[in-house]
Structures are given as structure tokens and as C-alpha cells.
Amino acid sequence: MEFETGFTSAPDGSVLTRFGRTMVLCTCRVVPGVPRFRAEGSGWMTAEYCMTPGSTNDRFQRERRGAKGRTMEIERLIGRSLRACVDLAGFGDHTVHVDCEVLQADGGTRTASISGAFVALALAADSMIERGLITRSPFKGTLGAVSCGIIDGVPVLDLPYEEDARAEIDLNLVLLDGSAIVEVQATGEEGVMSRAELDALLELGTAGVRSLAVVQHEALGAGACARLGLQALA
Amino acid sequence: MEFETGFTSAPDGSVLTRFGRTMVLCTCRVVPGVPRFRAEGSGWMTAEYCMTPGSTNDRFQRERRGAKGRTMEIERLIGRSLRACVDLAGFGDHTVHVDCEVLQADGGTRTASISGAFVALALAADSMIERGLITRSPFKGTLGAVSCGIIDGVPVLDLPYEEDARAEIDLNLVLLDGSAIVEVQATGEEGVMSRAELDALLELGTAGVRSLAVVQHEALGAGACARLGLQALA
Amino acid sequence: MEFETGFTSAPDGSVLTRFGRTMVLCTCRVVPGVPRFRAEGSGWMTAEYCMTPGSTNDRFQRERRGAKGRTMEIERLIGRSLRACVDLAGFGDHTVHVDCEVLQADGGTRTASISGAFVALALAADSMIERGLITRSPFKGTLGAVSCGIIDGVPVLDLPYEEDARAEIDLNLVLLDGSAIVEVQATGEEGVMSRAELDALLELGTAGVRSLAVVQHEALGAGACARLGLQALA
Amino acid sequence: MEFETGFTSAPDGSVLTRFGRTMVLCTCRVVPGVPRFRAEGSGWMTAEYCMTPGSTNDRFQRERRGAKGRTMEIERLIGRSLRACVDLAGFGDHTVHVDCEVLQADGGTRTASISGAFVALALAADSMIERGLITRSPFKGTLGAVSCGIIDGVPVLDLPYEEDARAEIDLNLVLLDGSAIVEVQATGEEGVMSRAELDALLELGTAGVRSLAVVQHEALGAGACARLGLQALA
Amino acid sequence: MEFETGFTSAPDGSVLTRFGRTMVLCTCRVVPGVPRFRAEGSGWMTAEYCMTPGSTNDRFQRERRGAKGRTMEIERLIGRSLRACVDLAGFGDHTVHVDCEVLQADGGTRTASISGAFVALALAADSMIERGLITRSPFKGTLGAVSCGIIDGVPVLDLPYEEDARAEIDLNLVLLDGSAIVEVQATGEEGVMSRAELDALLELGTAGVRSLAVVQHEALGAGACARLGLQALA
Amino acid sequence: MEFETGFTSAPDGSVLTRFGRTMVLCTCRVVPGVPRFRAEGSGWMTAEYCMTPGSTNDRFQRERRGAKGRTMEIERLIGRSLRACVDLAGFGDHTVHVDCEVLQADGGTRTASISGAFVALALAADSMIERGLITRSPFKGTLGAVSCGIIDGVPVLDLPYEEDARAEIDLNLVLLDGSAIVEVQATGEEGVMSRAELDALLELGTAGVRSLAVVQHEALGAGACARLGLQALA
């Protein structure tokens, strides 16, 4: 997992996230105001996720007549996860738009999106502090996500697409500061899993998220981490 | 949880599912043929989920310009869950459409839909056997689902809407024969959960699904359960 | 024709209407305010009609990409008919949403919807009076609707679907207090009708609506009828 | 009512229909084949209706995101009416598309469309006979339509828009050969009508349709009428 | 090229434009106010273009699920061209809607639409002056457009459809007062063109637009031209 | 202008095009078969263009409810331009999908897309030759595009967005082998241009496209240029 910050210069935060062969461009835009369903000054954040047509081996059809169910499910997961790692009110009277463009898809695009979006969001928040738009960090901790699965009975982290398609069981794990559970989604479309298998996947995933946090903090730099109150995991 | 079979007479299987104040009408339609992406004779099953406008205290806007993300996420969950409890090939050259109409929503509509859809599907399969469309049961076991959450620190099963909205943490659990995990979705939009809390919810949910299976089998009747190979949980 | 009031508990009025094998769930929601094209305080009412996928022998495709012409035609008929039996201004600064969900379709769904929606609307208005939202009944009279047709030369009331499809001529009649004409729609897609045949259908339909009013009043109860100023037909 | 045939040269039949200030361009296109739901060689006909933005005093918004309910209701009426005046099988393995473009709207656009579409359809059928696509007339008779209403208690034929908006009651009448009833649609959005008023409107409308037939036959010419078997009304 | 003004009476300006066999009905509607993205009182103008289904030899499918790319491209061209011949602020706090309905298409519909829309717009502006809505002409000059192409090596003006389809090269030219270039679009889908060929087409097109202006001024009449400050070309 | 080939590894051709601060990811996908409107074996190519939400200073709204007019206009331009530089039949029974994702927009995105898409297409064709899918180059020559404009009376090449917005006149020029004109689009939304100004822009643009070809050939490499028959400009 690599995070290339500043890949594009325009948005408030821009990170090219590489995760194996998977590449996701995560950008943030901070705009004034909040949606009508939020009280003034209480902040809001939304996330969008998009597979580009060239990202897959079979051309992925552009979603111009409405997003498909899978896309919407992933967008909702990204949005919920990001909202869990911040105090929304900390954004004041701003809405943060997070956009995840999948430039190359080889498994784990949703967890790469979450992990990269966290970095982009941290850059945006740091820039907001610098510009005086907000006065203190809105973050509760570091957000990370990994996917893992069971192949031929063995738990494996971060499956590339070919292996992912073979996995009997698939788990996506989103953690705050490498321990508190934000989201667990375990599904066994081709099979079912025992409680013991679930436990093994949770162990494996937790270790994965923890090592990921080190890379995220490096990408942000010590100064930004300090300003945002993001601490190394215990 | 109650399952009123034969609530409507038209479809292949029809079940009015009551779960507290929640009411979901689950129907099945068996149609010849499978979609083009499936090999001939290998069966298919799809699920749709719909909140009726009168089902909620605030009128729910009819989804005529495309389903919302929440609806699509739930539909995908129902479809994956149902496909996990059968051998699709057992439906031969037929597609089974499952429709879940939420007539009254008071929490747990997705798990009530899955549990009721299982009963409707079992009725449809039993009818297919009777009509000679298939020769043996396509079922791998009994499918059940419950939701639970943590309120004021206490794990609680089957939250009505008002409590659900207060829950810091929400878990949906789908099991086969009361033990094998089909789907786990745990989310903490308002908070995060510890591993211990997740374990407590999994215990509670498992017990809930197991007692639900008794009611599902009663609704189907001993004859249908025998013909479909659905056995009492150990 | 039967009207099971209070079938669901959530909405302002809820009626499960049975008409032969046809089943329509009619619900009302009263919300504050009126659309911009209405003067403040002058009331408004809208109606929606929806065939559920499980309601027909061939699965009815859910209308998620826009309602079909037949659906919109029926919705407009229901809305116009309901607006004819009330003084809209009597709803003050409220909009009443009426929703008709067809759970089982066996002919006459549009007239069953109108007749059932009237009962649901009356329940909602009665509840509004009770809650002090309005001070007097907005009703001009009792609204009822039937369909009839000519089969093998004989006028017949309330055709089930199989006969309806055979009918050369089809008439939908909506009356106020069993005599004043709100809507007449006569169509002879498979044939034409003479003026004498139209007259015979109008006679038959009028008798049908009059006997229906008795059942509607029983479902509402004498107290509600009195509060709403709905009188037995002369 | 005037019918200017050959207003455009491209389509199989083209008629500019004028009816007071109302102007509707009715065109036909005959294309090979029938839709899949029709048996081969059994013919089909469809109709579309469109208000152009410049046709009304307030600019009518172009329906590019789906037709509105009123438009679909009118299209269905035009289609049913036209199908009632022909033996569809007489079109053999062809589909006839009828398009009604309202260039100026001043009341009665749906009945002007039906009456003009009949003339365009007759021209198209005559051309089909001439080109040897069909060997005999598909027509059962002459189709005509008028609207009328009651204003200040007086039945009036063919209301211009301003009077139409004032009418308490509105009736659209479609007849075959000036006597057999194809469609009756009577609605009293602002009021209700007695049976006697309905009878008076039916008398008035019937006389209107009969005098219209003379103009339609003149526009077609004696030769075409003879070839198509359209006879002067008794 | 002919311009039949006042073809319909309802809109602010109405012109039936004939150009060979091509027929386009151009209408204007002036409505109070400007869109939110324009400063109050700074005027706005939009254009829509629509092929009617009966306008082509193969029935053109009505664009009810969104306009196609070709339609949108043409609309944008018409809008930009019209905005170039006026000072938008001259319309004050009004928005002018221009609608071009293609009743018959035989090549050059976009340039016929621009030339006819100019005449309709001039009529609307003249009417606005007369009604006191604006006090002076918003026009910078006379707008005209032609298309031309190269067939078998020879530059030809105003190609009918059959020749247009054969042309290797296609040029649309929009000029102000017959000399200043508003838009040039040259495309060689079937081939490419040399600079010399482009020059020849520009010469030919310029001559075409200049002779067109005479017809446009005649259609408007000397009085309107004077009031609007439209002068004969030098 | 820089072309970073192989930016992603999945598609048949992948080029990250940089043009000032503008960044466009151009990818190709070759799929078997051609659309129904093309004769078998006669090849086809389509192009799509998409602004990502993070590409602009104001967040660009994702086009999920249909592409806007500007997007469709640009897509059509890219498609026509690319089709002009190849013999489509040379692709045999394949369809080539070209996708241009604008990752950062700072003026000239349409011409950067065309120039980059040519490089991606050349890579895809070279790969097709290597894989034996086609036997010879389908190219007629090298395709390049630039935009230029007039600012304060001075013709300028490749305007960044801020200057582009100030330009009175805007020209997009697409050339084959630096001389034959594929497309010229000149527009003067804020002003008009004289023939002399058009000539000056054509000169400037031609020089720009010619120097661009050198960079394109370098990106492709001498070997690929030779295999594809792309020669240095005279």
C-alpha cells in the first residue's frame, strides 16, 4: 500500500492510492454550507466511488444512467466509515466531498478507497486548519480498512482479483486506531463460514489495518499527524 | 415473529411476515429460463425489496426514479443470503423472483425480509416439487436473520425503530441452520464497538436465529419441511 | 367488497380493501403545508397507485424507471375522483397523500382503489378532526366506484380479470352519494357499444355503487359517518 | 375543423389539423414488422402525442425526462381509439406509428388529434393499398372525436381553452361512423354532473362528430374514401 | 429559404422556416426573470432543438429519455450563435426561450434553425419594444447560417440530405452581418480537407449567408428592421 | 505536453496525458465484435470523455443522470476525430473503446484528450498486431489537436483555464499528419472574429499540432511508429 499525496494539485486533498495493482485516486473538496437536513454549523461529509471504464480487464460500463447497486453499497460504506473517524461538527459550516476514482481494479478497491480517502481527508483537514477555516482537528483517530478471505481453507490478507473471485468467504474490516470496530462485513456467497473462521479473519484483518496505519502516517508526515492529533498505534 | 402463509393466493409462495409491528409481504414467482449470464439449467434467483409509502411515520417517497442506495444495499443482502441457502442448480431452468414489500416498518425490515423470504421460497420450492418442475429439494438448510444492537451498553435483540435509531451499534446476522455464518454486517455509525461487544452481539444474534427457526418450520408444516429436507436445529 | 380498517397502524388511515380476490392496501398520510401551486391554507390531495410484483399471475415488473402509462392514467383518475368528494380547502394547510398498493390483482383494481381510498381518507379526516387539525368535515358526500362490462351481450358488474379480458366493453363509474356522476370512462377496445348498451351499464353500475356505500359506511362506523356528515343514500 | 393533407411530404400520411386556434400536425409512418407481443402478420399501431413548447401561452416544458401523466393518458386514448376503427390484422406484417405534434393549443387537442390522426391513417392505408403492401382496406368505419362541456349550465361543443378551464364538466366522445361509441370520458373535476346532463352532452357530441365526418371525407377525397370503404353517415 | 412569420399565433415570435424541403418551426417565449447564475437584469436566452418523429424518412425516435448527443450539440450551437448577435443585457430582466421544431428534415436543419430562430427572435424583440418591456434593440446585427460541403471535389451550398450524406466534407458557417465569424464548424468524417478547400467553402458560405440576409429582412419588414437597427449588408 | 504510457497496466493501451496542469488518463479496450449497425468485420470505435469530480476547482458534479451537453459534444468530437485517422475496417471484427478520464482540468481538455487518445489507440493497435488480431496498421497518419485563442488581440496557443475564460475567440483544430484538416471548430461566444483572425489562428494551431507530433512519436517509440506506418512530418 502506497499513498502518493498531491498527485493532482487542484483539490483540497489528493492522494493516489496503490494497493498491489489496484490504483484509486482519492480527492477531497471542501465547500461552504451543509445540506438542509443538517443543522447549520454541524458539518457534513459525503463520499462517491466510481470505477473508470479502463480499470478492469473487461471494460466496465460507465454508470451514466444511475449507479449500480454494488457502487451504491460501496459508497455508503465509505461514507459511513469516514463519518465514524471524525466529529462532523468539527468541520463547522462546511461540507466535505470525498471522491474515489478507481483507475485500476485488482481486488480490494473498497478498502483501498477507505484507507486512501482517510489520507485525503486528513490533508484537507490540515489545509482547513492552515487556512483558518477550522481551529482544531475533527479526527477521533486513524481510519484504516483491509479485506481478507479464506482460500482453500487458509485466511489470506488483501486478495488480488483472481484470488478474490476464488475465495469462499470475504471479509471487509474497518477499524479506528487499529482496534475499535467501525464496520465488519463478512459474506460467504460461495459458502458459509464457521465462527472460528470469522475469528481468524478478524485477527488477520486487525493486524493488516495496524501495519497500514504506519504507512498512512508516513504519507501524511509527522507535522500533519501532530496537528491533527493522530497518534501512533499502541 | 409470525409467518402467515397464503396471505395472497396468486404467487408461487406468499407469506405475510410480522415481526413486532414490522410487516413484510414476501412473495415468490417462478418463471421459466435463466438470465443470459447463467448456463442453461443452472437456475437463478433475484430479490427485490420495497418500502411502501405508507409503511413509515413520515411518508416514504416511492422510488420511481431509481432505487436509493439503502434499498439497493438491502436487496443485494437479501439476494446473497437466499442464494447461500440453496443449490441454485437445483432450480433447473427456472428463475425465482422474490419480492419483499414492507407494509409497515418498525425496525428490522431487512432481517424480517430475509426470514420471511426463506419461508416463501420454501413454499415455492415445495410447490415446484409437487408440480414436477424439480425433483428434489434445492435447500442446503434453514435460513434465518436477526438484527441486534447495543443500547446504553446492553446488547438487545430485534430493536424497534425508535430504539434502533438510538443504538450506537447495529448488527445484522444471517445464519444457515442456526450456526454457519452467511452474512455479518456490523456498523457503528454513531460509535464504534470493541471486539468483546461484537462477540456478545454474535452470541445474542445466534440465539435469536435459532429460536426463529422453530417458528419458520411451524409455518411451513412438518410435511413441507420433510419434503425439502429442512431439519430441526441440533 | 370488504374494508378492513386499521390493517397497518402507522399511517393516518389504513384500509385493506378486498374485492373478490383483488386486494388493495389504501393508506393516507397527512403532512403540513401545500404545494407551491396552491394558495396557503387551501389544502391539497394527491394519489399514487402501484401494482406490487407479486400481485399478478405473471410477475409485474416493478416501476423503478418511471411509471407506465396505465399506472399514471389510473393515478390521475383516483386523484381526480377523491378531489371531487371533498372541499380541498377543508384540509386547511395540509396535504393528504393517498397510496394504493395492489397486493393481489384480479380485475377492478382501479375502482377498488377509489372505493378503499375513500374509506382511508374518511378515517384520516376523522382523525384530523379528533386531533383538532381541522374543525369540520371536508366531505361533500360518499365516493364509490365500480367497473362493469358486457360479456356475450350481457352487462355484468365487477368482472374478475379473466372475464374482464374477455369483455368487449368496459365501463368505470365513479359516483358521489350514489347518483351524481364524478367520472365515467367507457371504452370498447375490442368492440364498440351502442347508446343502449351504455345506458344499461350506467344503470347497473349505479346500483353497484349504491350497495357499496352501505359497506363503506359500516366499515367507517356510525360515529365517524356522523362526524363527517356522511349520510345513508336516499 | 380543417384538415390540410400533405402538409409535409416525407411521412406516409401527413395532415395539419386546425380546430379553432388549435393546430396539430398528424403524421404516419409505416414500418415493416410487428412488436414481439403480436403474432407475425397480425399488424400493430401505436400513437404518440406531444405538446411543443411554443404551443401554449406559458411555455410548455419539453418532456425529455419522461412524458407526464396527462401526455401518457392522452396517448393511450388516441391509440385505443385508432385501434378501434381498424382491423389490425389488415395491416399485415406492418406497424403503423402515428405522431401528433400539437403546434398550437387552444382546447380540444386530444380530440383534434384523434380526428386528424384518422385522416392521416386513412392516407397511409390508401398509400399502402396503392403500393401493394396490403390488398384491402383495414377500416371498420370513420373515426371522429369531439369534446364538449357545460358552462353556466349550458352544454357547449368544442370549447376553446379559456372556456374549457371554466367548464364544470368535460366530456370527450369518440365515435365510429357517428354512432357506435368507442370511448366516453366524462369528468367533473370542479363539479359533478347529473345523468340528464350526461345525456345532453352525449347528444351534443354525437351531432358534432357527425358533422365532422363530412369534413374528414372531403379532406380524403371521394376516391380514397371509396378505396377505403368509408361511407357517408346515414 | 422562406420565412413564414406568424405561422402560429400564441408565442412571442413564430416563424415557419422552409429551406428546400426542410421545414423548421421556430418560436420564442419571453418570460420574466433570469436564471440564478445570471445577475438580475442582465438577460438570458436559451435554445432547444427537436426533430419530430415524422420529420425523417425513417421515423425519428422521440427523445423522451434524454436528448441524444447530436441534438445537444446542435442546441448548444444554436444557443451560442443567437447569444452572439445580441447584447443579452438588452433583454433586461427577461429570459428568452427559443424553440426549433424540425417538421421536415432534408439537410441543413441546424443552419435553417439558426437563420429562422434569428427571425423569430427579432419578432419577439420588436414585440418587446412595442409592449415597452425593453426600450432599445438588443441586436448587434443580422445573424445567418448556411451549410455547405464538397461533393466529388466541388464545393456546393445547402446540401439536401441525400447529397449531404455523400459529402466528404461538411462546413457550417454562422456569420454576423454577413462577415464577422460567429461559428465555423468543419468536419470531414469521411475524409479530410486541405486548407485550400476550407478557404473555398468559407467563400461559398459567406456568399450564401449574405444573400440569405436579404430574405430575412424582407420577412421582418422594413419597419421592424429599422426599429431593431438591422441594416442592409454593405 | 507529455505522454506517460503504461500508466495503468490493465487496458490495451493506457496513457497519462499531461498538458500544462491538465491531466487526462486515456485508455483503450479492444473487444470482439462490432455493433449491429456495422457490417461484420468492418470495425468500430467509440469514445467517452469524463470530467472527474476532483478535476476542477469547483467540484464537478458526477454525471450519473445522463451526460451534459458539453460532455456529449466533446465525446462526439473525439470519436469523429479518431475515426478520421484510421481505416475502421482495419480493426476487423473488433470494437475499440477509448476512454478519456480528466483527472485535472486546466484548459484544453478536449484537445489533450484527442492527442492522448491517439497515442493510446496506437499502443492498442500495435498490441493487436503483436497478438495477431490484425495483420497491418489501420492508421492513415498521426492525429493531433490543439486549442488556441485570441487574448487582448493576440493569438495564443494552449490556453490555461483562466486565460481561456478571458479569450474572446476559441479555436480547436484537429489535423492529420500536421496538415490535412480533420476538424475545425471556431467559436466566439464573447465576440466575433474576422477572417484574418481565423487565418492567424489556423497558422498558429497548425504549428502547434506539428510540434506535438514529435512528442507523440517519442512516446510511442520508433519501433511502434514503424510497425504502424506513422512517419515523421515533412
CB contact under 8 A, C192 and D181: yes
Q: What pLDDT does D160 receive?
A: 77
- Low-confidence residues of chain A, pLDDT below 50? none
CA distance D159 to chain C (A): 19
List CB contacts (< 8 A) between F186 and chain E.
181, 183-185
List CB contacts (< 8 A) between A56 and chain F.
10
Cα–Cα distance between A100 and A27 in angstroms, integer? 7
Q: Which chains touch D (3 or more CB pairs under 8 A)?
A: C, E
Is pLDDT of D164 > 80? no
Q: Which of B140-144, E118-122, F165-169 has the lowest mean pLDDT?
A: F165-169
Mutual orientation of helices D109-130 and D195-220 as an angle, nearest 10°? 40
CA distance F138 to chain A (A): 22
List CB contacts (< 8 A) between C67 and chain D.
69
Residues A110-123 as b or e (16 or more Cβ within 10 Å = b): bbbbbbbbbbbbbb
* DSSP reduced 3-state for F108: coil
Q: Does any CB of chain C come closer than 8 Å to the CB of residue D200?
A: no
Q: Which of F69, F185, F197 sits opposite E72 (nearest CB)?
A: F69
Q: Does any CB of chain B come closer than 8 Å to the CB of residue A21?
A: no
- What is the residue-wise DSSP string for E120-149? HHHHHHHHHHHTTS-SS--BSS-EEEEEEE
Is pLDDT of C162 > 90? no
Q: Which pLDDT band, with edges at 50, 70 and 90, does C224 fall under?
A: very high
CA-based torsion, B27, B33, B35, B40: positive or negative: positive
How long a stretch of residues is chain A? 234
CA distance F7 to chain E (A): 30
Q: Which pLDDT band, with edges at 50, 70 and 90, does E132 fall under?
A: very high
* DSSP reduced 3-state for F85: coil
Is pLDDT of C134 > 80? yes
CB contact under 8 A, B192 and A84: yes
- What is the residue-wise DSSP string for F187-230? E-TT--B-HHHHHHHHHHHHHHHHHHHHHHHHHH-HHHHHHHT-
- Which residues pair with residue D161 across a beta bridge? none
CB contact under 8 A, E104 and D23: no
Is pLDDT of B161 > 80? no
Chains C and F touch (3+ CB pairs under 8 A): no
User: Looking at chain B, which residue has its C-alpha nearest residue A197?
Assistant: B181
Is pLDDT of C58 > 90? no
How long a stretch of residues is chain C? 234
Centre a 10 Å sphere on the Cβ of residue A41 and count the other Cβ atoms it contains. Answer: 12
**DSSP E strand boundaries for chain E:** 2-5, 13-19, 22-32, 44-51, 94-104, 143-151, 154-157, 169-176, 180-187
List CB contacts (< 8 A) between D49 and chain E.
none
Chains B and E touch (3+ CB pairs under 8 A): no
Instruction: Give me the interface pTM, i.e. the ipTM.
Output: 0.94
Cα–Cα distance between E107 and E24 in angstroms, integer? 11
How long a stretch of residues is chain D? 234
The 10s digit of each residue's pLDDT in F79-136 is 999 999 999 999 999 999 999 999 999 989 999 999 999 999 999 999 999 999 999 9
Rounded to an integer, the average pLDDT of B172-197 is: 92
Cα–Cα distance between B87 and B93 in angstroms, integer? 13
Residues 71 to 100 of D: which have CB under 8 A from any E CB? 97, 99
Q: Which pLDDT band, with edges at 50, 70 and 90, does F153 fall under?
A: confident
Q: Which of B72, B80, B84 sits opposite A72 (nearest CB)?
A: B72
List CB contacts (< 8 A) between B45 and chain A.
none
Is pLDDT of C11 > 80? no
Q: Which pLDDT band, with edges at 50, 70 and 90, does C133 fall under?
A: very high
- Which residues pair with residue B175 across a beta bridge? B144, B181
Centre a 10 Å sphere on the Cβ of residue A194 and count the other Cβ atoms it contains. Answer: 12
- Which residues pair with residue A143 across a beta bridge? A176
Contact A75, B70 (CB under 8 A): no
What is the 3-state composition of chain E as percent helix, strand, coil, each rounded to the nearest 5? 35, 30, 30
Per the listing, cell 391554507 goes with C41
User: Looking at chain C, which residue has its C-alpha nearest residue B57?
Assistant: C10
Residues E49-80 as b or e (16 or more Cβ within 10 Å = b): bbbbbbbbeebbebbbebbebebbbbbbbbbb
Is pLDDT of E44 > 90? yes
Is pLDDT of C42 > 90? yes
Nearest alpha carbon to residue D17 among D146, D133, D130: D146
Cα–Cα distance between E234 and E145 in angstroms, integer? 18
Q: What pLDDT does B234 receive?
A: 78
Per the listing, cell 360479456 goes with C151
Q: Which pLDDT band, with edges at 50, 70 and 90, does F189 fall under?
A: low
Task: Tell me the count of D-E CB pairs closer than 8 A.
Answer: 100
Q: Does any CB of chain D come closer than 8 Å to the CB of residue E117?
A: no
- What is the residue-wise DSSP string for B12-23? SEEEEEEETTEE
The 10s digit of each residue's pLDDT in C106-118 is 989 999 999 999 9
Q: For E162, list phi and psi in degrees, rounded to 5.
A: -65, -40
User: Looking at chain C, which residue has its C-alpha nearest residue B53?
Assistant: C99
Q: What pLDDT does F168 receive?
A: 76
Per the listing, cell 487518445 goes with F117
Q: Testing the interface with E: which of F49, F174, F192, F194 to mutate, by most E Cβ within 10 A? A: F192
Q: What pLDDT does C189 receive?
A: 64
List CB contacts (< 8 A) between B162 and chain C.
none
Q: What pLDDT does C15 receive?
A: 97
Q: Which amino acid is at B206?
A: T
Q: Assign residue F162 a region (left: φ > 0; alpha: ψ between -120 and 50; beta: otherwise).
A: alpha
Contact F184, F199 (CB under 8 A): no
User: Looking at chain A, which residue has its C-alpha nearest residue F55?
Assistant: A10
Q: Which of F48, F57, F62 sits opposite A53 (nearest CB)?
A: F48
Q: Which pLDDT band, with edges at 50, 70 and 90, does B159 fall under?
A: confident
Which strands form E180-187's sheet, in the order they lie side by side? E154-157, E143-151, E169-176, E180-187, F180-187, F169-176, F143-151, F154-157
Q: What is the largest CA-CA distance in chain F?
A: 53
Q: Which chains touch A (3 or more CB pairs under 8 A)?
A: B, F
Is pLDDT of B200 > 90? yes
CB contact under 8 A, A62 and F55: no
C-alpha cell of F182?
Answer: 480533420
What is the 3-state composition of chain B as percent helix, strand, coil, each rounded to the nearest 5? 35, 30, 30
Nearest alpha carbon to residue B162 among B47, B20, B51, B52: B20
- Compute CA distances B149 → B153, B159, B162, B199, B203, whole Å: 9, 7, 12, 12, 12
Check: pTM over 0.95? Answer yes or no.
no
Q: What pLDDT does E27 receive?
A: 97
Pairing of strands E13-19, E2-5: antiparallel
Task: Tell me the count of A-B CB pairs closer than 8 A.
Answer: 91
Contact D174, D112 (CB under 8 A): no
User: Looking at chain A, which residue has its C-alpha nearest residue B206?
Assistant: A195
CB contact under 8 A, D101 and E99: no
How long a stretch of residues is chain E? 234
Contact B205, B146 (CB under 8 A): yes
The CA angle D153-D155-D160, to the nearest 5 degrees, is 105
C-alpha cell of C62?
Answer: 416493478
**Residue B136: CB partners within 8 Å, gap ≥ 6?**
B90, B129
* DSSP reduced 3-state for E205: helix
How long a stretch of residues is chain F? 234
Q: What pLDDT does A94 receive?
A: 97
How long a stretch of residues is chain B? 234
Cα–Cα distance between C165 and B122 in angstroms, integer? 32
Q: Which of A184-198, B85-99, F207-221 has the lowest mean pLDDT?
A: A184-198
For residues C3, C6, C12, C14, the Cα torsion angle rounded to the nearest 10 degrees is: -40
Per the listing, cell 420471511 goes with B116
Contact D44, D95 (CB under 8 A): yes
Q: What pLDDT does E189 receive?
A: 64
Q: Which pLDDT band, with edges at 50, 70 and 90, does D50 fall under?
A: very high
Q: What pLDDT does D189 receive?
A: 65
CB contact under 8 A, B10 and C65: no
Cα–Cα distance between F213 and C89 in angstroms, integer? 73
| Burial environment of residue D215 by CB neighbours within 10 A (0 to 12, 13 to 18, 19 or more) | middle
User: Looking at chain A, which residue has its C-alpha nearest residue F11?
Assistant: A54
List CB contacts (< 8 A) between F63 and chain E.
none
